[in-house]
Structure 1
Amino acid sequence: MTTTEYIDRIFGSLLLAGIGDALGAPTELWSIDEIMSRFGGMVSRFEEPTADTFAGANNGRRGEVTDDASQMYYLARHVSKVGGPLDQDGWVACLLDWASTSPKASFMGPSTLALVNALRGGQNFDTVGVVGNSSRKLTTMGNTNGAAMRVAPLGLIHPGNIEAACDAAVVTCLPSHDTDVAISSACAVASGCAVAVTGADVSEIVRACRDGAMRGAQLAVLHARVPPGPRLLKRLDMALEIAAGATDDRQFLYDLDAAIGASVLASESVPTAIAIFAYAGGDPLRTVALAATVGNDTDTVATMSGALAGAMHGRQGLPPGLYEEFMAVNNGEFGFEELAVGLGRIAARNAAHA
């Protein structure tokens, strides 16, 4: 693939992830029935977030991204600036820059917030969330989906290279999401994006997500804690089985919500996002519409599934209307063309030296 082709697919991934985020912002914490009643079916248009959503409570606007995609864009900007390699200090500096300068930082999730507060207070992040005087952290600390929601750029710059995508993803996990579930989840999304950007089909992308989840679990044994609770790969296989047997959109979402869930926990929202991508056949609008309708942490689910579908189809797959409105609201803050060009050049270089 040429550099131009990588740029095109990366632009599609970044934009569809953001479109999904903005579609899901007004439906976050709602149920499937509540969402479908308001929208007359699947979510396919931007709405002003209401006060009973995180976006609405933080003065989010129609078509505007939340902390999910904005963290991803800050990461993309940092990676582009340094030329690709990401170390722990660089990632922490990037995160603190986002927390200090982004208007979306007020949406910050619990694991990321705990880390940011610790770093600002001069505390060692290894001690954040520990139980008593032990070295164990609370089971919920680090098991959330923050690492997976922002990790797409680290897959996009490593075309077809699951190992490199996972190694890069782990760097962004360890400060705040240092559990096997969170690392496995981030590696699943990064690996899916790494393969999607090569022009692979849905089955190959889903297989890459599974391979990444396995690789992440292996890396977590070396670098992080394996707390009690659901394992990502097991939940992913369950979610994909539901997707494979589904024939009706609404029933598919009901079944996915009942068996897997779509909460802020990575073991729920990440398998759900990948299963939605698989069920939709990677179709860009169907993928983010279903994700924004599944209920609960809709903006995060739609960000992750949108990153996969966007990388698969590139710029031409972006939904007209939504694309133009999204650009008008968000491009001034992030400069998507520049982000895609920077990442695309790194991707082409990495592919050439793989």
Structure 2
Amino acid sequence: MKKRIRGVIAGTALGDAMGMPTECWSQDKIKERFPEGIDRLYPASQNDIFGRTLEAGAVTDDTINTLMILNMLKKNHGKVCVDDYIKELSDWNENSGVSAYVSGPSTLKALDKIAKGVPVEEAGVTGTTNGAAMKIAPIGIVSDYREMQNLIKNVYQICLPTHNTKIAIAGASAVAAAVSYTVRGGSSIDEIWNIAYSAITAAQEYGYDFPSASLPFRMKQARKILDEEKRDEGSILKRLYDEIGTGMETIETIPCVFAIVELANGDTWKAAQLCAQIGWDTDTIGAISCGICGGMNPELPEKEVTLIEQVNGLDFNAMAEDVLSYV
């Protein structure tokens, strides 16, 4: 289990770092710059849309927020304490110097509201983006998918301040349940889809009813693309980009995540490469997809993982050891 937990955490960082250089690029732009695909970690480009000068292996808010959740769980002996998470997130947002360039719009908007005295329960009622799902993996690690209601309640606590909407909570719940299944030894692609659907259904009573298309329907459409294109990676990525969308909204991100997990057959390194080429929110789709795959198949490309640890000052083994005692 420790190895699988490490796979989830390191996989999240790997997908994030692989997708960082192409974040907010179109598929055509990525193909033009990387005609042979992306098979290693790259630094941010000179024309990075956010003006970042990040080196190869650097992570973004996807990993940073995931680590905040891990820190909160460690501080509270495996229990969710949303106030501690908000404090750490607010401190980082104010003092990191990079938050404005890497944090999502729902998070920034909610933090601004909280700072102005808006109650936590009201701050995230328009948060429909993937900022909840991107950081939720630790909740999946410490919550058992076989006790779904408890898992959903834990997810809801994390979503409450920034993403208190039905769609964001449903998407984050699907991810947390999938991660929970993998760290407990599960590796069936079909079962991952089934558990995700179960989590979405169980999460329906939570969150503000902000308008959204049907997440289960969009997920079924994404899987239909896999079947119709007979595992042709280029055609599948193109259709996901064109028909499902690969942006930062939960309704786009989550269907693509589960489609990538299946297309990569749970291989973390393969998923990282696919996500880096999918276009738009490449780092977040990568972080979530590779987190799930890392639990399924924790044999990761250690050269790249070591680089990520060195560049960001991380120790994935120690993190896995810390959280293991709370599972």
* TM score, norm. by length of structure 2: 0.92
Alignment correspondent of 2:324: 344
Report the CA distance between 1:159 and its aligned residue.
3.9
| d(CA) in 2 for partners of 1:274, 1:14 | 18
Name the Cα RMSD after superposition.
Answer: 1.9
Any conservation in 1 of the 2:23–2:283 contact (CA below 8 Å)?
yes
Any conservation in 2 of the 1:163–1:215 contact (CA below 8 Å)?
yes
Partner amino acid, structure 1, of 2:217: K
Partner residue of 2:288 out of 295, 298, 304: 304
Alignment correspondent of 1:15: 10
Alignment correspondent of 1:324: 306
Report the CA distance between 1:176 and its aligned residue.
1.3
Partner amino acid, structure 1, of 2:271: T
1:189-268 aligned at under 5 Å gives the runs 189-201=175-187, 202-216=189-203, 218-220=204-206, 224-246=207-229, 247-268=231-252
What 5-or-longer segments of structure 1 have no aligned partner? 1-5, 130-136, 348-354
Partner residue of 2:106 out of 107, 111, 118: 111
| d(CA) in 2 for partners of 1:290, 1:335 | 25
Report the CA distance between 1:125 and its aligned residue.
4.1
1:92-107 aligned at under 5 Å gives the runs 92-102=86-96, 104-106=98-100, 107=102
Partner residue of 2:35 out of 35, 40, 48: 40
Any conservation in 2 of the 1:48–1:61 contact (CA below 8 Å)?
yes
Any conservation in 2 of the 1:243–1:276 contact (CA below 8 Å)?
no
Any conservation in 2 of the 1:11–1:340 contact (CA below 8 Å)?
yes
Which one is further off, 321-330 or 10-19? 321-330
Alignment correspondent of 1:151: 136
Matched, 1:167 2:149: no
Report the CA distance between 1:142 and its aligned residue.
0.7
Any conservation in 1 of the 2:122–2:161 contact (CA below 8 Å)?
no
Cα separation, partners in 2 of 1:79 and 1:102, compared to 1, 3 Å = farther
SS of the residue corresponding to residue 84 of structure 1 reads coil
Partner amino acid, structure 1, of 2:176: A
| d(CA) in 1 for partners of 2:205, 2:315 | 34
| d(CA) in 1 for partners of 2:173, 2:96 | 25
Partner residue of 1:27 out of 3, 22, 25: 22
Partner amino acid, structure 2, of 1:11: R
Any conservation in 2 of the 1:165–1:194 contact (CA below 8 Å)?
no
| d(CA) in 1 for partners of 2:92, 2:2 | 24
Matched, 1:85 2:79: yes
Report the CA distance between 1:228 and its aligned residue.
2.2
Report the CA distance between 1:110 and its aligned residue.
0.7
Alignment correspondent of 2:263: 279
Partner amino acid, structure 2, of 1:28: E
| d(CA) in 2 for partners of 1:78, 1:102 | 18
* TM score, norm. by length of structure 1: 0.86
Alignment correspondent of 1:352: none
Cα separation, partners in 2 of 1:270 and 1:102, compared to 1, 3 Å = farther
Cα separation, partners in 2 of 1:101 and 1:195, compared to 1, 3 Å = farther
| d(CA) in 2 for partners of 1:104, 1:147 | 19
Report the CA distance between 1:62 and its aligned residue.
1.7
| d(CA) in 2 for partners of 1:76, 1:103 | 22
Report the CA distance between 1:126 and its aligned residue.
4.7
Report the CA distance between 1:290 and its aligned residue.
0.7
| d(CA) in 1 for partners of 2:227, 2:75 | 41
| d(CA) in 2 for partners of 1:103, 1:339 | 25
Any conservation in 2 of the 1:21–1:65 contact (CA below 8 Å)?
yes
Any conservation in 2 of the 1:66–1:104 contact (CA below 8 Å)?
no
| d(CA) in 2 for partners of 1:121, 1:22 | 33
| d(CA) in 1 for partners of 2:82, 2:134 | 18
Report the CA distance between 1:83 and its aligned residue.
1.0
Partner amino acid, structure 2, of 1:326: I
Matched, 1:75 2:69: yes
- Count of aligned positions: 323
Partner amino acid, structure 1, of 2:202: R
What 5-or-longer segments of structure 2 have no aligned partner? none
Alignment correspondent of 1:292: 276
Any conservation in 2 of the 1:77–1:339 contact (CA below 8 Å)?
no
Partner residue of 2:55 out of 54, 58, 61: 61
SS of the residue corresponding to residue 325 of structure 2 reads helix
Cα separation, partners in 2 of 1:177 and 1:62, compared to 1, 3 Å = same
